Structure 1
Protein backbone atom coordinates (compact mmCIF):
# COMPACT_ATOMS: atom_id res chain seq x y z
CA UNK A 1 0.00 0.00 0.00
CA UNK A 2 2.87 2.29 0.85
CA UNK A 3 4.40 1.77 -2.58
CA UNK A 4 1.26 3.00 -4.25
CA UNK A 5 1.33 6.28 -2.34
CA UNK A 6 4.78 7.11 -3.82
CA UNK A 7 4.46 8.76 -7.24
CA UNK A 8 5.25 6.52 -10.21
CA UNK A 9 8.24 8.54 -11.43
CA UNK A 10 9.93 8.21 -8.00
CA UNK A 11 9.38 4.47 -8.02
CA UNK A 12 10.99 4.24 -11.46
CA UNK A 13 14.01 6.37 -10.44
CA UNK A 14 14.46 4.22 -7.34
CA UNK A 15 14.28 1.09 -9.41
CA UNK A 16 16.88 2.44 -11.90
CA UNK A 17 19.18 3.40 -9.01
CA UNK A 18 18.90 -0.07 -7.48
CA UNK A 19 19.54 -1.73 -10.83
CA UNK A 20 22.61 0.50 -11.38
CA UNK A 21 24.04 -0.27 -7.93
CA UNK A 22 23.47 -4.00 -8.45
CA UNK A 23 25.17 -3.85 -11.85
CA UNK A 24 28.21 -1.97 -10.49
CA UNK A 25 28.51 -4.37 -7.54
CA UNK A 26 28.35 -7.40 -9.83
CA UNK A 27 30.98 -5.91 -12.16
CA UNK A 28 33.30 -5.20 -9.23
CA UNK A 29 32.83 -8.76 -7.97
CA UNK A 30 33.71 -10.18 -11.40
CA UNK A 31 36.85 -8.01 -11.66
CA UNK A 32 38.04 -8.98 -8.16
CA UNK A 33 37.38 -12.65 -8.92
CA UNK A 34 39.34 -12.49 -12.19
CA UNK A 35 42.28 -10.74 -10.50
CA UNK A 36 42.33 -13.31 -7.69
CA UNK A 37 42.29 -16.17 -10.18
CA UNK A 38 45.13 -14.58 -12.18
CA UNK A 39 47.21 -14.09 -9.02
CA UNK A 40 46.66 -17.68 -7.91
CA UNK A 41 47.65 -18.98 -11.34
CA UNK A 42 50.86 -16.94 -11.27
CA UNK A 43 51.63 -18.11 -7.74
CA UNK A 44 51.07 -21.68 -8.86
CA UNK A 45 53.46 -21.34 -11.79
CA UNK A 46 56.74 -23.01 -11.11
CA UNK A 47 59.76 -21.65 -12.87
CA UNK A 48 61.42 -24.09 -15.20
CA UNK A 49 64.85 -25.55 -14.61
CA UNK A 50 67.93 -23.35 -14.56
CA UNK A 51 70.56 -25.34 -16.44
CA UNK A 52 74.27 -24.81 -15.80
CA UNK A 53 76.57 -26.39 -18.33
CA UNK A 54 80.33 -26.64 -17.83
CA UNK A 55 80.98 -26.03 -21.50
CA UNK A 56 84.73 -25.55 -21.81
CA UNK A 57 87.92 -25.51 -19.71
CA UNK A 58 91.21 -24.01 -20.79
CA UNK A 59 94.46 -23.07 -19.12
CA UNK A 60 94.92 -19.34 -18.60
CA UNK A 61 98.32 -18.77 -17.01
CA UNK A 62 98.19 -20.19 -13.47
CA UNK A 63 94.42 -20.67 -13.59
CA UNK A 64 91.84 -22.93 -15.12
CA UNK A 65 89.42 -20.81 -17.14
CA UNK A 66 85.83 -22.06 -17.16
CA UNK A 67 83.22 -21.26 -19.79
CA UNK A 68 79.75 -21.77 -18.32
CA UNK A 69 76.50 -21.77 -20.33
CA UNK A 70 73.45 -20.76 -18.28
CA UNK A 71 70.13 -21.78 -19.83
CA UNK A 72 67.25 -19.78 -18.35
CA UNK A 73 64.90 -20.28 -21.30
CA UNK A 74 62.11 -21.58 -19.06
CA UNK A 75 62.79 -19.40 -16.03
CA UNK A 76 62.07 -15.92 -14.74
CA UNK A 77 64.39 -12.94 -14.62
CA UNK A 78 67.11 -13.00 -11.94
CA UNK A 79 69.00 -9.86 -10.96
CA UNK A 80 71.61 -11.91 -9.12
CA UNK A 81 72.51 -15.59 -9.21
CA UNK A 82 75.67 -16.32 -7.25
CA UNK A 83 76.96 -19.86 -6.90
CA UNK A 84 79.57 -21.57 -4.71
CA UNK A 85 81.78 -23.94 -6.72
CA UNK A 86 84.52 -26.38 -5.71
CA UNK A 87 87.20 -27.83 -7.98
CA UNK A 88 88.40 -31.30 -6.99
CA UNK A 89 91.65 -32.78 -8.22
CA UNK A 90 91.82 -36.09 -10.09
CA UNK A 91 92.14 -37.94 -6.75
CA UNK A 92 88.85 -36.42 -5.51
CA UNK A 93 90.44 -33.98 -3.06
CA UNK A 94 88.90 -30.49 -2.87
CA UNK A 95 91.43 -27.98 -4.21
CA UNK A 96 89.86 -24.61 -4.97
CA UNK A 97 86.67 -22.84 -4.05
CA UNK A 98 85.18 -19.88 -5.93
CA UNK A 99 82.03 -17.84 -5.56
CA UNK A 100 80.84 -16.76 -9.00
CA UNK A 101 78.15 -14.21 -9.89
CA UNK A 102 76.38 -15.62 -12.94
CA UNK A 103 73.61 -13.00 -13.03
CA UNK A 104 71.85 -11.01 -14.15
CA UNK A 105 69.86 -13.63 -16.04
CA UNK A 106 67.10 -12.37 -18.35
CA UNK A 107 63.96 -14.50 -18.67
CA UNK A 108 63.76 -16.96 -21.58
CA UNK A 109 67.44 -16.44 -22.43
CA UNK A 110 70.69 -18.41 -22.52
CA UNK A 111 73.90 -16.61 -21.50
CA UNK A 112 77.60 -17.49 -21.35
CA UNK A 113 79.89 -16.52 -18.46
CA UNK A 114 83.65 -17.00 -18.18
CA UNK A 115 85.56 -17.16 -14.89
CA UNK A 116 88.76 -18.64 -13.46
CA UNK A 117 89.68 -21.19 -10.82
CA UNK A 118 92.95 -19.52 -9.78
CA UNK A 119 96.01 -21.58 -8.83
CA UNK A 120 94.99 -24.89 -10.38
CA UNK A 121 95.78 -26.23 -13.84
CA UNK A 122 92.87 -27.59 -15.86
CA UNK A 123 94.57 -31.00 -16.28
CA UNK A 124 94.55 -31.32 -12.46
CA UNK A 125 90.78 -30.72 -12.19
CA UNK A 126 88.92 -34.02 -11.96
CA UNK A 127 85.48 -32.72 -11.00
CA UNK A 128 83.55 -29.49 -10.35
CA UNK A 129 80.85 -29.37 -7.71
CA UNK A 130 77.99 -26.89 -7.40
CA UNK A 131 78.18 -26.68 -3.62
CA UNK A 132 75.41 -24.12 -3.05
CA UNK A 133 73.52 -21.15 -4.40
CA UNK A 134 74.70 -18.17 -2.34
CA UNK A 135 72.20 -15.63 -3.64
CA UNK A 136 69.21 -15.63 -5.91
CA UNK A 137 67.52 -12.26 -6.36
CA UNK A 138 64.36 -12.12 -8.46
CA UNK A 139 61.96 -14.76 -9.73
CA UNK A 140 61.14 -17.14 -6.90
CA UNK A 141 63.86 -15.22 -5.00
CA UNK A 142 64.32 -17.94 -2.41
CA UNK A 143 67.88 -19.27 -2.48
CA UNK A 144 66.63 -22.78 -1.76
CA UNK A 145 64.15 -22.62 -4.63
CA UNK A 146 66.94 -21.61 -7.02
CA UNK A 147 69.14 -24.45 -5.80
CA UNK A 148 66.26 -26.89 -6.22
CA UNK A 149 65.60 -25.89 -9.84
CA UNK A 150 69.31 -25.81 -10.83
CA UNK A 151 70.48 -28.66 -13.05
CA UNK A 152 74.12 -29.34 -13.98
CA UNK A 153 75.69 -30.79 -17.10
CA UNK A 154 79.15 -30.90 -18.67
CA UNK A 155 80.51 -30.90 -22.20
CA UNK A 156 84.07 -30.19 -21.03
CA UNK A 157 85.10 -33.77 -20.23
CA UNK A 158 85.08 -32.97 -16.50
CA UNK A 159 82.08 -34.04 -14.41
CA UNK A 160 79.96 -31.18 -13.06
CA UNK A 161 77.73 -32.27 -10.18
CA UNK A 162 75.24 -30.81 -7.74
Structure 2
Protein backbone atom coordinates (compact mmCIF):
# COMPACT_ATOMS: atom_id res chain seq x y z
CA UNK A 1 0.00 0.00 0.00
CA UNK A 2 2.77 2.48 0.88
CA UNK A 3 4.37 2.08 -2.57
CA UNK A 4 1.00 2.71 -4.22
CA UNK A 5 0.47 5.93 -2.24
CA UNK A 6 3.96 7.19 -3.12
CA UNK A 7 3.39 6.40 -6.81
CA UNK A 8 0.08 8.27 -6.75
CA UNK A 9 1.70 11.27 -5.08
CA UNK A 10 4.48 11.33 -7.71
CA UNK A 11 1.92 11.14 -10.51
CA UNK A 12 0.04 14.02 -8.90
CA UNK A 13 3.22 16.09 -8.67
CA UNK A 14 3.80 15.85 -12.43
CA UNK A 15 0.46 17.46 -13.23
CA UNK A 16 0.57 20.02 -10.41
CA UNK A 17 0.61 23.61 -11.67
CA UNK A 18 3.48 26.03 -11.24
CA UNK A 19 1.77 29.35 -10.61
CA UNK A 20 3.62 32.54 -11.49
CA UNK A 21 2.09 35.66 -10.00
CA UNK A 22 3.26 39.11 -11.09
CA UNK A 23 2.89 40.50 -7.59
CA UNK A 24 4.47 43.96 -7.70
CA UNK A 25 6.36 46.34 -9.97
CA UNK A 26 8.48 49.28 -8.91
CA UNK A 27 10.89 51.62 -10.61
CA UNK A 28 14.55 50.92 -9.82
CA UNK A 29 16.69 53.50 -11.60
CA UNK A 30 16.13 52.93 -15.33
CA UNK A 31 14.60 49.49 -14.81
CA UNK A 32 11.25 48.07 -13.88
CA UNK A 33 11.77 45.82 -10.85
CA UNK A 34 9.48 42.80 -10.78
CA UNK A 35 8.43 40.87 -7.67
CA UNK A 36 7.26 37.41 -8.74
CA UNK A 37 5.57 34.89 -6.45
CA UNK A 38 6.31 31.34 -7.60
CA UNK A 39 3.79 28.88 -6.18
CA UNK A 40 5.07 25.32 -6.39
CA UNK A 41 3.06 24.27 -3.34
CA UNK A 42 1.61 21.19 -5.05
CA UNK A 43 4.57 20.11 -7.18
CA UNK A 44 7.92 18.35 -7.09
CA UNK A 45 11.11 20.36 -6.58
CA UNK A 46 12.90 21.89 -9.56
CA UNK A 47 16.66 22.51 -9.76
CA UNK A 48 16.26 24.68 -12.86
CA UNK A 49 13.25 26.70 -14.03
CA UNK A 50 14.28 29.39 -16.49
CA UNK A 51 11.60 31.48 -18.18
CA UNK A 52 11.63 33.77 -21.22
CA UNK A 53 9.64 36.97 -20.58
CA UNK A 54 8.72 39.90 -22.83
CA UNK A 55 7.61 43.35 -21.68
CA UNK A 56 5.25 45.14 -24.07
CA UNK A 57 4.65 48.89 -23.94
CA UNK A 58 1.21 50.41 -23.47
CA UNK A 59 0.68 50.35 -27.28
CA UNK A 60 1.31 46.58 -27.38
CA UNK A 61 4.78 46.78 -28.95
CA UNK A 62 7.43 44.37 -27.61
CA UNK A 63 10.12 46.40 -25.82
CA UNK A 64 12.32 44.22 -23.60
CA UNK A 65 13.11 40.55 -23.28
CA UNK A 66 14.66 38.86 -20.24
CA UNK A 67 15.51 35.28 -19.39
CA UNK A 68 15.09 34.71 -15.66
CA UNK A 69 16.12 31.73 -13.56
CA UNK A 70 13.41 31.27 -10.92
CA UNK A 71 14.81 28.05 -9.40
CA UNK A 72 15.67 26.37 -7.22
CA UNK A 73 12.03 25.64 -6.41
CA UNK A 74 11.70 23.40 -3.38
CA UNK A 75 8.94 20.79 -3.48
CA UNK A 76 5.59 21.90 -2.07
CA UNK A 77 6.81 25.47 -1.43
CA UNK A 78 6.00 29.02 -2.49
CA UNK A 79 8.92 31.41 -3.05
CA UNK A 80 9.41 35.06 -4.04
CA UNK A 81 11.88 36.15 -6.72
CA UNK A 82 12.89 39.70 -7.64
CA UNK A 83 14.44 40.71 -10.97
CA UNK A 84 14.65 43.72 -13.30
CA UNK A 85 13.51 44.53 -16.81
CA UNK A 86 16.40 46.90 -17.63
CA UNK A 87 15.86 50.03 -19.70
CA UNK A 88 12.08 50.32 -19.36
CA UNK A 89 10.11 52.25 -16.75
CA UNK A 90 7.26 50.40 -15.08
CA UNK A 91 4.80 53.10 -16.20
CA UNK A 92 5.61 52.22 -19.82
CA UNK A 93 4.90 48.48 -19.38
CA UNK A 94 1.43 47.58 -20.62
CA UNK A 95 1.73 43.78 -20.52
CA UNK A 96 4.18 41.00 -19.67
CA UNK A 97 4.18 37.76 -21.62
CA UNK A 98 5.54 34.38 -20.52
CA UNK A 99 6.97 33.54 -23.93
CA UNK A 100 8.48 30.16 -23.07
CA UNK A 101 10.12 27.97 -20.46
CA UNK A 102 13.75 27.75 -21.58
CA UNK A 103 14.94 25.16 -19.07
CA UNK A 104 13.33 22.92 -16.49
CA UNK A 105 15.17 20.29 -14.48
CA UNK A 106 13.57 18.22 -11.75
CA UNK A 107 10.14 16.69 -11.30
CA UNK A 108 9.29 15.15 -14.66
CA UNK A 109 12.18 17.16 -16.16
CA UNK A 110 10.63 17.93 -19.54
CA UNK A 111 10.75 21.60 -20.55
CA UNK A 112 7.50 21.26 -22.51
CA UNK A 113 5.77 19.71 -19.49
CA UNK A 114 6.87 22.65 -17.32
CA UNK A 115 5.49 25.13 -19.86
CA UNK A 116 2.20 23.25 -19.94
CA UNK A 117 2.02 23.26 -16.11
CA UNK A 118 2.77 26.98 -15.78
CA UNK A 119 -0.13 29.30 -14.98
CA UNK A 120 0.11 33.10 -14.83
CA UNK A 121 -1.75 35.80 -12.94
CA UNK A 122 -1.16 39.41 -11.93
CA UNK A 123 -1.83 41.49 -8.84
CA UNK A 124 0.37 44.34 -10.12
CA UNK A 125 -2.14 46.09 -12.37
CA UNK A 126 -0.24 44.92 -15.47
CA UNK A 127 -1.59 41.91 -17.39
CA UNK A 128 0.66 38.84 -17.23
CA UNK A 129 -0.20 35.98 -19.56
CA UNK A 130 1.15 33.15 -21.67
Superposition RMSD in Å? 1.6
Identify the residue that residue 28 of structure 1 maps to in structure 2: none
Distance 1:111 1:40, change over 3 A: closer
Secondary structure at the counterpart of residue 98 of structure 1: strand
Distance across 1 between alignment mates of 2:70 and 2:113: 16
Identify the residue that residue 139 of structure 1 maps to in structure 2: 107
Normalising to structure 1: TM-score of the pair? Answer: 0.74
State the shift of 1:43 in Å: 6.2
- In structure 2, which of residues 34, 40, 44 is the aligned counterpart of residue 72 of structure 1? 40
Which has a greater percent of helix? 1
Contact 1:69 1:110 in 2 (8 A): yes
Gaps spanning 5+ residues in structure 1: where?
1-33
Aligned length: 128
- Does 1:117 pair with 2:92? no
Which has a greater percent of strand? 2
- In structure 2, which of residues 23, 27, 42 is the aligned counterpart of residue 59 of structure 1? 27
> Greater CA radius of gyration, 1 or 2?
1
Normalising to structure 2: TM-score of the pair? Answer: 0.92
Q: Deviations over 1:35-71 (max 9, x none)?
A: 6x67864664333110000000000000000000000
State the shift of 1:122 in Å: 0.3
- In structure 1, which of residues 129, 147, 154 is the aligned counterpart of residue 122 of structure 2? 154
